[in-house]
Structure 1
Amino acid sequence: MTALTLAAAQTISIPGNVPANIQRHLAFMQAAAQQGAQLLVFPELSLTGYEPSLAERLAITPDAVQLRPLREKARDLRLTAVVGMPIRPSPDADVMIGALVLGADGSLAVYAKQHLHPGEEVAFVAGPGGEALKLGGEQIALAVCADFTHASHPRAAVHAGASVYAAAVLISEGGYAKDCAQLQGYAAEHGLLVLMANHGGPSGGWASAGRSAVWAANGQLLAAVPGVGEALLVARRDNGVWAGQVVVF
């Protein structure tokens, strides 16, 4: 079995400042590549912050030119990056919560959040999800926050062949214990490696808990960022065995 390295970026987004957030994403991509990562997952709506009131104004089509620096960086580093952004399938379409998959080969794919939190329907519509990624012999299913609170979501991913479940989230301190217990449970129940990328600071009025984490397929916690702030969480598979590491950013 070939070696594989996955990473979660625990970032702090500047509300609505897409150019500044892009620059921060580029730095995280460089750091992940230096750790040998083939995949880097950012938190929910990482490029704008979790700012529903700004989504209508900031929403883009997935192929928008402003993402070019990120797409070029992904290609140059041979790193697939999953970044969060409000998206419209077409210029006049409703806004969805997108996780844009910027491929190491220059490709572009879209995952659109399927399950909305109560209240998100004011700014967003539910999306269709998206295809799993294939890396290093693993099939990696994506989720965006409330998606994972529906047990049917990871179950469907497993039935489709997923062995890794990667969730881009905004989890506050109050919900952290419950949400992590759910993610850990999926790892144990379905035999999934579960990777969770959380915001490292407040966003949209929510005080994020940070503590991005990765669980092995038996539910064992491999590594977790100790708190808030920016950090890189790395999961490495070597000789078929996964291990986790936190890199302070």
Structure 2
Amino acid sequence: MSSWTIAAAQSGSRPGDIDWNIQHHIEFIHQAAARDVDLLMFPELSLTGYELPLMAELALSLDDLRLQTFAIAAQQHQMGISVGLPLKAEDNVRLSALTFLPDGTRIAYSKRNLYGPEKDIFTAGSTLPMFGYQHHQVALAICADISVEAYARDAAQRGADLYATSVLVSEQGYEADCSYLARWSRDYQMAVMMANHAWPTGGYLCAGKSAFWDPNGRQVIRGGEGEQLIIARRDGNHWQGEMLSLPCPSVI
């Protein structure tokens, strides 16, 4: 099997400050590019923070000019980049992950298993787009999606090599969510990555500790607290992990 390097950006977001958050994402992208990362995953609603009362106001369209920054970075660094955002879809707003591929393609995935008050704000997604990147197949999931076995099973049956998840997980829910992800990687023999927030957002104290499991259910690496890149590299059938702590700017 070919080599492949993927990473979770354990980043922090300023509440509702899209412009600042975009620039902060670019800092992570540059660090990932310097380490030859092929696919970089940011946390749930990373461009806005998990600020539910602001979602209707902050929702972006697929062709919002501010997002061009990521399209350019994906092409420049030959890197897939997946960011979290509220996405306008006709007359609805969806809680989405938008992936930018080096060839200019943009692929949107919208959370299907909405949690609590999200149901009053967002319209649930209904499909699982898969994308191939350097001969690998990737399926996405967002936070509460990871508790639904049917979603993971469907991804595996469709040939996913990686189940890439963007989350907002507190210490209280962390171990339970990790148990799901370890189980899906083991039972369905696909790698699993989790990108969690580094800073408090939306009233939640985030656990950090982004992680990666190989297709046998073995946790290759688990991050710590604060802003980090959690990197997993595959050479042949062997995965190894690397953790890079990044300087933390002021949250406010």
Normalised TM-score (structure 1):
0.96
Task: Output the amino acid matched with 1:195.
Answer: M
Residue number in structure 1 paired with 2:17: 17
> Per-residue deviation at 1:138?
2.1
Judge conservation of contact 1:212–1:225 (CA < 8 Å) in 2: yes
Task: Give the match for residue 100 of structure 1.
Answer: 98
Q: What are the equivalent positions in structure 2 for 1:108-147 lying under 5 Å apart?
A: 108-147=106-145
Please state how far the C-alpha of 1:122 moved relative to its aligned partner.
Answer: 1.6
Instruction: Provide the C-alpha distance between the structure 2 equivalents of 1:130 and 1:111, rounded to a whole number of angstroms.
Output: 7
Q: How many residue pairs align between the two structures?
A: 246
Q: Which residue of 1 aligns with 2:35?
A: 35
Q: Matches of 2:80 and 2:135 in 1, distance apart? A: 15
Q: How does 1:57-68 map to 2 (within 5 A)?
A: 57-68=57-68
Structural mapping, 1:153-192, within 5 Å: 153-192=151-190
For residue 88 of structure 2, what is the aligned residue in structure 1? 88
Q: Give 1:162 shift.
A: 1.0
Partner Cα separation in structure 1 for residue 236 and residue 125 of structure 2: 37
Whether contact under 8 Å (1:140, 1:164) holds in the other structure is yes
Name the SS of the counterpart of 1:119 in structure 2: helix
For 1:74, the equivalent position in structure 2 comes to 74
Q: CA contact under 8 A between 2:80 and 2:133: conserved in structure 1?
A: no
Deviation of 1:129 after TM superposition, in Å, equals 3.6
Q: Which moved more, 1:69-78 or 1:172-181?
A: 69-78
**2:244 matched residue in structure 1:** 247
Distance 2:237 2:134 in 1: 11
Aligned-partner Cα distance in 2 for 1:49–1:239:
37
Q: 1:119-159 deviations in whole A, cap 9, x for unaligned?
A: 21121110124411212332111001111111111011111
Distance between the aligned counterparts of 2:100 and 2:161, measured in 1?
A: 21
What percentage of residue pairs aligned between the two structures are identical?
39
- What secondary structure sits across from 1:86 in the alignment? strand
Unaligned runs of 5+ in 2: 247-252
Greater than 4 Å deviation, 4+ residue runs: none
TM-superposed CA distance for 1:200, in Å, is: 0.5
Root mean square deviation of aligned Cα: 1.0
